[in-house]
Amino acid sequence: TIPGHSTFLANQDDDITTETLPFGFSYYGRSFGAVGLSSNGMLSFPTASAQYINSSLPNTSIPDTIFAFWDDLYLRSNGICTTVLGSSPNRQYIAEWSNATFPGSTDLTTSLNFEVFLSEGTNAIDVLFGTMTGDGTLSSGSSATIGVQRDTASLTDQVPHDAVVTRLAPSGYRWSPRV
Protein backbone atom coordinates (compact mmCIF):
# COMPACT_ATOMS: atom_id res chain seq x y z
CA THR A 1 0.00 0.00 0.00
CA ILE A 2 1.11 3.53 -0.80
CA PRO A 3 1.29 6.15 2.00
CA GLY A 4 -1.34 8.94 1.75
CA HIS A 5 -3.40 6.86 -0.63
CA SER A 6 -7.00 6.29 -1.61
CA THR A 7 -8.28 2.75 -2.00
CA PHE A 8 -10.82 1.67 -4.62
CA LEU A 9 -12.54 -1.58 -5.57
CA ALA A 10 -11.39 -3.66 -2.59
CA ASN A 11 -12.79 -7.22 -2.74
CA GLN A 12 -14.21 -6.61 -6.21
CA ASP A 13 -14.44 -8.55 -9.44
CA ASP A 14 -15.29 -6.99 -12.82
CA ASP A 15 -15.90 -3.51 -11.41
CA ILE A 16 -14.87 0.05 -12.29
CA THR A 17 -14.52 3.47 -10.69
CA THR A 18 -13.52 6.97 -11.80
CA GLU A 19 -11.07 9.30 -10.06
CA THR A 20 -10.31 12.96 -10.76
CA LEU A 21 -6.67 13.56 -11.65
CA PRO A 22 -4.75 16.25 -9.74
CA PHE A 23 -3.42 17.59 -13.06
CA GLY A 24 -4.40 17.47 -16.71
CA PHE A 25 -2.77 14.49 -18.41
CA SER A 26 -2.19 14.57 -22.15
CA TYR A 27 -2.83 11.16 -23.69
CA TYR A 28 -2.06 11.16 -27.40
CA GLY A 29 -2.57 14.93 -27.52
CA ARG A 30 -5.91 15.02 -25.68
CA SER A 31 -5.99 16.43 -22.15
CA PHE A 32 -7.92 14.46 -19.55
CA GLY A 33 -8.86 15.41 -15.99
CA ALA A 34 -10.07 12.00 -14.85
CA VAL A 35 -9.16 8.34 -15.13
CA GLY A 36 -11.25 5.21 -15.03
CA LEU A 37 -9.83 2.32 -13.04
CA SER A 38 -10.86 -1.26 -13.79
CA SER A 39 -10.45 -4.22 -11.46
CA ASN A 40 -9.27 -6.08 -14.57
CA GLY A 41 -5.95 -4.23 -14.90
CA MET A 42 -6.88 -1.26 -17.10
CA LEU A 43 -6.62 2.51 -16.66
CA SER A 44 -8.73 4.46 -19.16
CA PHE A 45 -9.46 8.10 -20.01
CA PRO A 46 -11.91 9.28 -18.72
CA THR A 47 -13.93 6.17 -17.82
CA ALA A 48 -13.08 2.47 -17.55
CA SER A 49 -14.42 -0.80 -18.84
CA ALA A 50 -15.19 -3.83 -16.68
CA GLN A 51 -14.55 -6.12 -19.67
CA TYR A 52 -12.82 -9.20 -18.29
CA ILE A 53 -12.21 -11.21 -21.46
CA ASN A 54 -9.02 -9.75 -22.88
CA SER A 55 -8.17 -9.64 -26.57
CA SER A 56 -5.35 -8.49 -28.76
CA LEU A 57 -5.16 -4.80 -29.62
CA PRO A 58 -6.76 -2.94 -31.20
CA ASN A 59 -10.01 -3.31 -29.30
CA THR A 60 -12.52 -0.73 -30.52
CA SER A 61 -14.84 -1.15 -27.53
CA ILE A 62 -12.27 0.08 -24.98
CA PRO A 63 -10.97 3.50 -26.13
CA ASP A 64 -8.10 5.56 -24.70
CA THR A 65 -6.74 2.86 -22.43
CA ILE A 66 -3.55 1.72 -20.75
CA PHE A 67 -3.72 -2.07 -20.54
CA ALA A 68 -1.36 -2.59 -17.60
CA PHE A 69 -2.24 -6.27 -17.15
CA TRP A 70 -5.65 -6.84 -18.74
CA ASP A 71 -7.02 -10.15 -17.58
CA ASP A 72 -9.92 -11.46 -15.52
CA LEU A 73 -8.72 -10.35 -12.08
CA TYR A 74 -10.16 -10.34 -8.59
CA LEU A 75 -9.01 -7.59 -6.25
CA ARG A 76 -8.50 -8.66 -2.67
CA SER A 77 -8.82 -6.29 0.31
CA ASN A 78 -5.99 -4.03 -0.92
CA GLY A 79 -7.92 -3.15 -4.09
CA ILE A 80 -6.40 -0.39 -6.22
CA CYS A 81 -4.43 2.18 -4.26
CA THR A 82 -3.85 5.63 -5.77
CA THR A 83 -1.69 8.53 -4.68
CA VAL A 84 0.17 11.56 -5.98
CA LEU A 85 3.89 12.08 -5.47
CA GLY A 86 5.91 15.26 -6.01
CA SER A 87 4.85 18.86 -6.47
CA SER A 88 3.63 20.86 -9.44
CA PRO A 89 4.75 20.84 -12.23
CA ASN A 90 6.46 17.49 -11.68
CA ARG A 91 3.82 15.32 -10.02
CA GLN A 92 3.17 11.64 -10.61
CA TYR A 93 -0.23 10.03 -10.27
CA ILE A 94 0.17 6.37 -9.28
CA ALA A 95 -2.42 3.59 -9.41
CA GLU A 96 -1.34 0.30 -7.84
CA TRP A 97 -3.17 -3.02 -8.20
CA SER A 98 -2.05 -4.76 -5.02
CA ASN A 99 -2.20 -8.49 -4.25
CA ALA A 100 -4.75 -9.28 -6.97
CA THR A 101 -5.58 -12.85 -7.92
CA PHE A 102 -7.61 -14.68 -10.55
CA PRO A 103 -11.31 -15.38 -9.85
CA GLY A 104 -11.81 -18.90 -8.57
CA SER A 105 -8.10 -19.48 -8.06
CA THR A 106 -7.22 -22.01 -5.39
CA ASP A 107 -3.51 -21.16 -5.55
CA LEU A 108 -2.88 -19.30 -2.30
CA THR A 109 0.52 -18.11 -3.59
CA THR A 110 -1.05 -15.98 -6.34
CA SER A 111 -0.15 -12.33 -5.82
CA LEU A 112 -0.28 -9.88 -8.73
CA ASN A 113 1.21 -6.44 -8.03
CA PHE A 114 1.61 -3.77 -10.69
CA GLU A 115 1.46 0.00 -11.01
CA VAL A 116 0.73 2.69 -13.57
CA PHE A 117 2.57 6.01 -13.23
CA LEU A 118 1.28 9.09 -15.08
CA SER A 119 3.89 11.88 -15.11
CA GLU A 120 2.82 15.52 -15.21
CA GLY A 121 4.52 17.65 -17.86
CA THR A 122 6.27 14.84 -19.73
CA ASN A 123 3.03 12.82 -20.03
CA ALA A 124 5.12 9.66 -19.76
CA ILE A 125 3.38 6.43 -18.80
CA ASP A 126 5.23 3.82 -16.80
CA VAL A 127 3.80 0.37 -16.11
CA LEU A 128 5.84 -1.37 -13.44
CA PHE A 129 5.52 -4.96 -12.27
CA GLY A 130 6.35 -6.02 -8.73
CA THR A 131 5.67 -9.49 -7.38
CA MET A 132 3.76 -11.56 -9.94
CA THR A 133 3.48 -15.10 -8.57
CA GLY A 134 1.21 -18.13 -8.52
CA ASP A 135 -1.20 -19.86 -10.90
CA GLY A 136 1.55 -21.13 -13.18
CA THR A 137 2.13 -19.02 -16.27
CA LEU A 138 -1.00 -16.88 -15.71
CA SER A 139 0.99 -14.57 -13.42
CA SER A 140 3.52 -14.11 -16.25
CA GLY A 141 0.90 -12.93 -18.73
CA SER A 142 -0.10 -16.13 -20.53
CA SER A 143 -3.69 -14.88 -20.50
CA ALA A 144 -3.15 -11.09 -20.35
CA THR A 145 -2.85 -8.11 -22.68
CA ILE A 146 -0.28 -5.37 -21.99
CA GLY A 147 -0.15 -2.20 -24.08
CA VAL A 148 -1.70 1.19 -24.88
CA GLN A 149 -4.42 2.28 -27.27
CA ARG A 150 -5.43 5.71 -28.59
CA ASP A 151 -9.16 6.39 -29.06
CA THR A 152 -11.01 3.43 -30.58
CA ALA A 153 -7.85 2.01 -32.14
CA SER A 154 -6.28 4.54 -34.47
CA LEU A 155 -2.96 3.75 -32.76
CA THR A 156 -1.93 0.89 -30.49
CA ASP A 157 1.23 -0.54 -29.01
CA GLN A 158 0.84 -4.04 -27.67
CA VAL A 159 3.65 -5.72 -25.79
CA PRO A 160 2.28 -9.24 -25.30
CA HIS A 161 -1.15 -10.77 -25.68
CA ASP A 162 -1.74 -14.15 -24.11
CA ALA A 163 2.00 -14.81 -24.08
CA VAL A 164 4.31 -15.61 -21.20
CA VAL A 165 6.68 -12.73 -20.54
CA THR A 166 9.83 -14.10 -18.99
CA ARG A 167 11.12 -11.85 -16.25
CA LEU A 168 7.88 -9.87 -16.12
CA ALA A 169 8.62 -9.02 -12.51
CA PRO A 170 10.44 -6.93 -11.58
CA SER A 171 10.33 -4.99 -14.83
CA GLY A 172 8.28 -2.41 -16.64
CA TYR A 173 7.39 -0.58 -19.81
CA ARG A 174 7.41 3.14 -20.68
CA TRP A 175 5.31 4.92 -23.25
CA SER A 176 5.41 8.59 -24.23
CA PRO A 177 2.31 8.94 -26.42
CA ARG A 178 2.35 11.87 -28.81
CA VAL A 179 -0.31 13.09 -31.23
Going residue by residue through the chain, which has 179 residues, state the pLDDT in tens, using 9 for 90 and above. 566 789 999 999 999 999 999 999 999 999 999 999 999 999 999 999 999 999 999 999 999 999 999 999 999 999 999 999 999 999 999 999 999 999 999 999 999 999 999 999 999 999 999 999 999 999 999 999 999 999 998 989 999 888 888 677 788 999 998 76
Which ranges constitute the DSSP H helices of the chain?
none
Exposure b/e, 101-140, CB count within 10 A at least 16 = b: bbeeeeeeebbbbbbbbbbbeebebbbbbbebebbeebbb
Q: What is the pLDDT of residue 179?
A: 63
Would you state the pLDDT for residue 44? 98
* Residues linked to residue 172 through DSSP beta bridges, in sequence order: 128
What pLDDT is stored for residue 9 in this prediction? Answer: 97
CA distance linking residue 49 with residue 117, whole number of Å: 19
CA distance 155 to 175: 13
